[in-house]
Amino acid sequence: MSKLIIPKVIGHRGACAYAPENTLASLHTAADLGIEWVEIDVKLTRDSVPIIFHDEELNRCTNGSGRVAETDFKTIAELDAGLWFGDSFMGEKIPTLEDALNVIIDRGMNVNLEIKPCPGREVETAEVMLDFSTRIWPDDQPPPLISSFSHVSLETAIDVMPEWPRGLLIDEFTPDWRKFAKHFDAHTLDINGNTVTQEQIEAYLDYAKPILAYTINDPARAKLLMSWGVSSIFSDCPDVIRDEIEQFHWGVQT
């Protein structure tokens, strides 16, 4: 397995300040901006097709309604996932995991795959996502980073594909974060960069793994976090953040 090299900026759901989130258009936009890594969310349809989508409900980002977990892929494939963002994206679809990975590979990027299971499907979502991903992802390229707020999904990732690195998502600082980081053999700590304090960052730095902060669109906040020791920033406008933090050494290895 090739060494994982994480750049200083990761495009959040593609480059979702400029294109509808978690769509192929957003991935292409990130690539056009020269972004090296993107983060995308993986869910399952009712008939267990892995798609790139964040919410439990279809309403916010499509012209459909209802829960993803209760909707077959045939119906989801017909929805418009771009018009809500702007008229120029009319007709954009919810991509399958396969379609998204093919674009990411073709455009020379790497990816943070966040397992975003619907309630009760934590194991199945991780298993299906990793089954598809390991068959598609080239063996001679650095592996994706796997992350999830679901500890059950991370457990499953260890069982299914222990060789692929894992990121532990941490929304709020808690005293037992280190126990979980060690349990999951976390390669990165993916923290809420909008609420974290310098004191908490100093505690995370003791773990001696890269700290990735989400979701930062304010250049001043990004620079402050980098000065505290954060390794990488997730951003909706990754080009803006990248241009503002050029003075920091580029890229971290894990």
**All structural domains of the chain with their residue ranges:** 5-253
Q: Name residue 235's amino acid.
A: S
Determine contact, residues 235/12, Cβ cutoff 8 Å: yes
Q: Provide the 8-state DSSP code for 249.
A: P
5-253 carries CATH number 3.20.20.190: yes
DSSP conformational letter for 81: S
Is 151 a catalytic site residue?
no
54 is catalytic: yes
pLDDT of residue 200: 98
**Residue-wise burial string across 10-30, b where 16 or more C-beta atoms lie within 10 A, e elsewhere:** bbbbbbbbbbbbbbbbbbbbb
Annotated active-site residue in 12, 28, 151, 183: 12
From the number of C-beta atoms within 10 Å of its C-beta (0-12, 13-18, 19+), residue 253 rates as exposed
- Determine the 3-state secondary structure of 250 from DSSP: coil
pLDDT one-digit tens code per residue, 2-41? 567 899 999 999 999 999 999 999 999 999 999 999 999 9
pLDDT, position 154: 97
Among 28, 54, 151, 183, the active-site one is 54
Beta-ladder partners of 149: none
Distance of CA 251 to the CA centre of its chain: 17
pLDDT value for 250: 47
- What is the distance between the alpha carbons of residues 63 and 236, in angstroms, rounded to a whole number? 22
Stretches where the chain sits below pLDDT 70 are 1-3, 247-254
